[in-house]
Homo-oligomer: A and B are copies of this chain.
Amino acid sequence: MKTRRTQNLMTVALVCMAVSIATKAQAADPLASWNDGPAKKSITEFVAKVTKEGSPDFVPPEERIATFDNDGTLWAEQPMYFQFLFAIDRVKALAPQHPEWKEKEPFASLLKGDMKTALAGGEHAFLEIVAGTHSGMTTEEFDRIVREWLATAKHPKTARLYTEMVYQPMLELLAYLRANGFKTFIVSGGGVEFMRAFADKVYGIPPEQVVGSTGKLKFELRDGGAELLKLPEIQFIDDKEGKPVGIQMNIGRRPIAAFGNSDGDLQMLQWTAAGSGARFCLYIHHDDATREWAYDRQSSIGRLDKGLDEAKVKGWTVVSMKDDWKRIFPFEK
């Protein structure tokens, strides 16, 4: 007898089944852009053992912290860090308001298009350009400026939006880890407010899970409002030894999994590996000059030298972009 109640029950059950089928379909190949091989296998085996209740390697969900470098790990970083390309565009846009830049290095050379002379001053010149373009506005104004740039600026080689230059296999990996109860964080040398402008939409990582370098901020009461003004001084550099420090300050737990691509990530991986229980460390090796770029020990951007040696000694996973990834960018067929 099909009463109304039975019909309702059947509806509930059908919905449940539909959800279950959808979940299974999704779970069928969560890492579809990864070739079968040791790298993919090391990931799925690690996730299987830390999520299996009763297993000696089981880790409760709240401790499943995974940290990801951004430049070169989640999106590309050639021919130069994208945030620096943003800074260069900002120097050009702001030049009319800064007539003094015509005479002042590194801005003068940069405005003439002479990048080599502009950057001859090394790190100091680099920081001058960043400070000059990342301060003097509120945090909310800066966020708007970054979003506008990301919506329009194109990569010099691919002519794609920068937010399209993300690695499809890493997007899948982020989603796969989250589906297995992990909390995913960015821990990167990039500016925290620059990364937050796209991390949520592009990676599914909310602002409060982005750890990065920070500039000093000044609280100001203005016309009945209250704002934070960005100052041209550095508060914290989230790179090398700064990465475990940034993790401790912001997250307060040692990650159980860490992902990077350069020597700047080495201390984060060392700190992650040194915790008790099951741990997972992974380096991405840029070895695909055809589909992306090939660089490692000699590169000034994203140098991977000591890290490559240590990965071998410690048995960390090293991903060959060439061999392990079916597809690099989402826009590839």
**What residues make up the interface of A, taking CB atoms closer than 8 Å to B?**
1, 6, 8-10, 12-13, 16, 62, 65, 139, 183, 192-193, 196, 200, 206-210, 214, 217-219, 221, 224-228, 235-236, 241, 244-245, 248-253, 267, 270-271, 273-274
7 sampled A-B residue pairs with Cβ under 8 A: A1-B1, A6-B9, A8-B13, A192-B249, A217-B244, A217-B248, A226-B270
What's the nearest-Cβ distance from chain B to residue A271, in Å?
5
If A219-B241, A249-B217 touch, does A226 touch B274 (CB 8 Å cutoff)?
yes
Set of chain B residues within 8 Å of A193, measured between Cβ atoms: 252
Set of chain B residues within 8 Å of A249, measured between Cβ atoms: 192, 214, 217, 235
A273 to chain B: closest residue by CB: B226
B221 contacts A270, C-beta separation under 8 Å: yes
B207 contacts A251, C-beta separation under 8 Å: yes
A217 contacts B192, C-beta separation under 8 Å: no
Task: List the 10 closest pairs (A to B, CB-CB), nearest first.
Answer: A207-B252, A226-B274, A9-B9, A219-B241, A226-B270, A226-B271, A225-B274, A208-B251, A217-B245, A9-B13
What's the nearest-Cβ distance from chain B to residue A195, in Å?
9
What's the nearest-Cβ distance from chain B to residue A28, in Å?
25
CA distance A321 to B160 in the complex (A): 58
B250 contacts A208, C-beta separation under 8 Å: yes
If A12-B13, A217-B245, A219-B267 touch, does A208 touch B253 (CB 8 Å cutoff)?
yes
A207 contacts B9, C-beta separation under 8 Å: no
What's the nearest-Cβ distance from chain B to residue A23, in Å?
16
What's the nearest-Cβ distance from chain B to residue A126, in Å?
22
Set of chain B residues within 8 Å of A8, measured between Cβ atoms: 13
A250 contacts B248, C-beta separation under 8 Å: no
CA distance A62 to B208 in the complex (A): 10
What's the nearest-Cβ distance from chain B to residue A148, in Å?
18
B1 contacts A12, C-beta separation under 8 Å: no
Set of chain B residues within 8 Å of A139, measured between Cβ atoms: 248
A272 to chain B: closest residue by CB: B226
A253 contacts B192, C-beta separation under 8 Å: no
Set of chain B residues within 8 Å of A207, measured between Cβ atoms: 251-253
What's the nearest-Cβ distance from chain B to residue A249, in Å?
5
* Residue of B12, B206, B221 touching A62 (CB-CB under 8 A): B206
CA distance A244 to B192 in the complex (A): 16
What's the nearest-Cβ distance from chain B to residue A194, in Å?
11
A219 contacts B271, C-beta separation under 8 Å: yes
A220 to chain B: closest residue by CB: B241
Set of chain B residues within 8 Å of A65, measured between Cβ atoms: 208
A271 contacts B9, C-beta separation under 8 Å: no
If A1-B1, A270-B221 touch, does A228 touch B248 (CB 8 Å cutoff)?
yes
B12 contacts A16, C-beta separation under 8 Å: yes
CA distance A207 to B8 in the complex (A): 43
Set of chain B residues within 8 Å of A226, measured between Cβ atoms: 244, 267, 270-271, 273-274
If A208-B251, A208-B252 touch, does A245 touch B225 (CB 8 Å cutoff)?
no
CA distance A213 to B53 in the complex (A): 37
CA distance A219 to B274 in the complex (A): 12
